[in-house]
Structure 1
Amino acid sequence: MRGPDSVLPRNAAVLIWVPVLLLAPLLNLPAAPVRLGGIALVLLAAAGAVAGVLLSWPDPTRPSMAAWLLAALAVTAGSLLWNGWAPAWLLVAMVAGLALPVRVVWATIPLTAVVAAYLQYRFDPAMEQALTRVFVVALTGTTAAVLNRLLITNRELRRTREQLAAAAVAQERERVARDLHDVLGHTLSVIVVKAAAVRRLLAVDPAAAAEHAGDIESVGRSALTRVREVVHDAAAPSVETELAAARDVLSAAGIAVTASPEFAVDPKLGEPLAWALREGVTNVLRHSGASRCRIELGRADGMVRLSIADDGVGHLGERADGLGGLAGLRRRLQAAGGGLETRPGTAGFTLIAWVPDAD
């Protein structure tokens, strides 16, 4: 009975009562010539009730409201002509709880109960019976309206949960893609630089070439570990480690490095800067053709700022589609409350990253 969006059990719970509650007026039909008109009224009430229920999911519509009104008018007309329509008012109240908007239904159900009691009172003038009719009709309509709202709320919660799950998957996919880009892009650039150094030194300084070859092996093993850490969300570089690695790899590539004095950075705030340092150095190795690179780390205006500037051929900056390493780095820094600025030019490139200072 669990149909899509709970519509099947909800509809069945109301529609199963249509023949039951409309049986009484059929069994008490007046004599001819009103009999045929009475049957028509019962059929109109049934059609209006069924249409009102079916057209009101997930939200009431104008057709569902018109269908309910048709059922209510048919039951009212029948109640004015002959006795036996009392159970039909329960159906009118139930359908009102489904077919009418919330802002209307809470006024309509009590009114329906009062009209039902008044029309019943015309044939059976007993106050106790009338008050009981008001209570029963109002309770029936209110119950239907509350259960309908619960089903709709459950549907919305389920869809929200699905959307949150999809967003979590997309966020995790973006994290893995960004971290793999940052980790492997940097590592592969280091391997390329070290391999070039091995080739350059092999004939003139075999010992130095062997040392660089050992570094390639070490970097490769480290890359495997870092990939595992990325997959398990455990890759958290530090500014100190990345700065030492930057000095080493830039020097191996023949790029003179100037770095500002180091100071302690809060690990949680330093992680985005460490990623920025890795991405900036990787871009210097890949694109700049620079002979000099200056790395500065300092505090200013409540921010910890990292600057990486080279004297190379320049860089076009971020990709327009937002898929490059700089775009991912910008999102990472913004998530930490910081930001990224790039200053591309024809004579060098400068990357500036910042995060709030914990001190």
Structure 2
Amino acid sequence: MSGLECHLRRHSVVLIWLPVLLLFPLLNLSGGPLQEAGQAALVLVIGASAVAAVLASGLDGPARRPPPLVLGLLLALVVLVALAALQGEGWQTVWGLLAIVAPAALRGWRLALLIAVATIGAAVSIAIIDGIGDTYVLSAGGVLLSGITTTSFLRLLEVIEKLRRTREELARTAVAEERARMSRDLHDLLGHTLSVMVVKAEAVRRLAARDPEAAAAHAADIEEVGRAALADVRVAVDQMKTLSLAEELDGARRALDAAGIRTSVIAAPPEMSDVAGQALAWVVREGTTNVLRHSGAASCRFELVEDDGELRLAVVDDGVGGPVDPDERAGGLEGLRQRLRAVDGRLDVLPGADGFRLEARVPVS
């Protein structure tokens, strides 16, 4: 929806009231035919000026400083309304028209000034034409009240419109975040699982000729891992995927052992929340995947300790280092950083000449 359409939708209440307020002067035409024609033309010009002011104010949106065109139309409208109010009895409703058009075109002190002009003009013209009677205060105060009420109502509609746009933007952001989460989950789930299956398939190929029983065992592992992967994908799609740190450490040890990489786990089992445990489980999974894919290592160890209110998990290998350009990957280490940031943790990647160290820290609780 364009800005002008939104503006017109919010201020349609102003345009709806214009024919009603202009009907009273049309019903109180006086004088000869020529004078009545002139009065009718004056009413039409007032209506056209009011509509033009409302439309022109919507071209640039609800600006704090109105454009010169709007100010010119409102100034002309003030002059026309003042001229019409002096035509006789029944014409004072044009001041009310000015009071309800003002909030659609102005803001701030300019709006307050124009409503004050409409109220004072109504008070003066009513006193001149009808005199000060029992309904004087009610008639003049009605102009002021119409301006204040219209201002409040239009500003409320603007707030509702902003809330609607904010809700739509939040919905789009939530969808984007959910897509990113699903992308990370699928990368972490399938990347690790497929790496394990590739390693075991290589073991089957190497052992098929000389050790059929060992090859069959690895083939059975491939089947088991594949079934587990299918279950993981189903769970991830259902947004219910949770990982166990102990299970991931055990699975990492078995996968690395199958690849011929000596594995050790140094862990003093600290107390931790489920959130911290799941975050570290993802670190184990991604670290294991990187060791299998990129390291060319002969040994790997996992260190889990509590350090000054934080849980520190390190995945250390003696290989050649980490993946090339890890920050450019959609998932991987960057996805892991995002997971840890979500639980107030951090990830340090420390490649060195003698291997690679992946270290994650998360609060204990």
* TM-score > 0.5, shorter chain as reference: yes
Query: Is 1:18 aligned with 2:18?
Result: yes
Cα distance per residue 1:17-38 (max 9 Å; x no partner)? 3344334445435669987875
Give the stretch that moved more between structures: 240-249 or 68-77. 68-77
- Summarize the Cα distance change of 1:128–1:66 in structure 2 as closer, same or farther, 3 Å threshold: farther
Matched with 1:239 is: 245
Please give the alpha-carbon distance, in whole angstroms, between the structure 2 residues aligned to 1:321 and 1:203: 41
Q: Percent identity?
A: 45
Give the stretch that moved more between structures: 6-15 or 300-309. 6-15
Residue identity matched to 1:132? L
- Summarize the Cα distance change of 1:34–1:4 in structure 2 as closer, same or farther, 3 Å threshold: closer
Do 1:48 and 1:69's aligned partners in 2 also have CA atoms closer than 8 Å?
A: no
Give the one of 143, 152, 161 matched to 2:158.
Answer: 152
Matched with 2:217 is: 211
State the SS of the aligned residue for 2:57: coil
- Summarize the Cα distance change of 1:321–1:134 in structure 2 as closer, same or farther, 3 Å threshold: farther
Give the one of 308, 318, 339 matched to 2:315.
Answer: 308
Matched with 1:291 is: 298
Matched with 1:116 is: 122
Do 2:327 and 2:334's aligned partners in 1 also have CA atoms closer than 8 Å?
A: no
Please give the alpha-carbon distance, in whole angstroms, between the structure 1 residues aligned to 2:349 and 2:31: 88
Matched with 2:345 is: 338
- Structure 2 unaligned regions, length at least 5: none
- Summarize the Cα distance change of 1:10–1:310 in structure 2 as closer, same or farther, 3 Å threshold: closer
- Summarize the Cα distance change of 1:149–1:129 in structure 2 as closer, same or farther, 3 Å threshold: same
Do 1:41 and 1:78's aligned partners in 2 also have CA atoms closer than 8 Å?
A: yes
Please give the alpha-carbon distance, in whole angstroms, between the structure 1 residues aligned to 2:8 and 2:132: 40
Alpha-carbon RMSD across the aligned residues, in angstroms, is 2.6
Do 1:255 and 1:293's aligned partners in 2 also have CA atoms closer than 8 Å?
A: yes
Matched with 1:45 is: 46
Query: Is 1:28 aligned with 2:29?
Result: yes
Query: Is 1:165 aligned with 2:168?
Result: no
Matched with 1:129 is: 135
1:178 offset after TM fit, Å?
A: 0.3
Query: Is 1:77 aligned with 2:80?
Result: no
1:43 offset after TM fit, Å?
A: 4.2
Please give the alpha-carbon distance, in whole angstroms, between the structure 2 residues aligned to 1:4 and 1:223: 53
Structure 1 length-normalised TM: 0.90
Please give the alpha-carbon distance, in whole angstroms, between the structure 2 residues aligned to 1:289 and 1:325: 18
Matched with 1:197 is: 203
Structure 2 length-normalised TM: 0.88
Give the stretch that moved more between structures: 81-90 or 294-303. 81-90
Please give the alpha-carbon distance, in whole angstroms, between the structure 2 residues aligned to 1:12 and 1:298: 66
Query: Is 1:220 aligned with 2:220?
Result: no
Do 1:45 and 1:72's aligned partners in 2 also have CA atoms closer than 8 Å?
A: no
Give the stretch that moved more between structures: 216-225 or 153-162. 153-162
Please give the alpha-carbon distance, in whole angstroms, between the structure 2 residues aligned to 1:167 and 1:316: 30
1:77 offset after TM fit, Å?
A: 3.1
The count of aligned residue pairs is: 356
Matched with 2:285 is: 278
Query: Is 1:59 aligned with 2:52?
Result: no
- Summarize the Cα distance change of 1:316–1:217 in structure 2 as closer, same or farther, 3 Å threshold: closer
Residue identity matched to 1:95? V
Please give the alpha-carbon distance, in whole angstroms, between the structure 2 residues aligned to 1:105 and 1:257: 76
Residue identity matched to 1:273? L
- Summarize the Cα distance change of 1:36–1:161 in structure 2 as closer, same or farther, 3 Å threshold: same
State the SS of the aligned residue for 1:169: helix
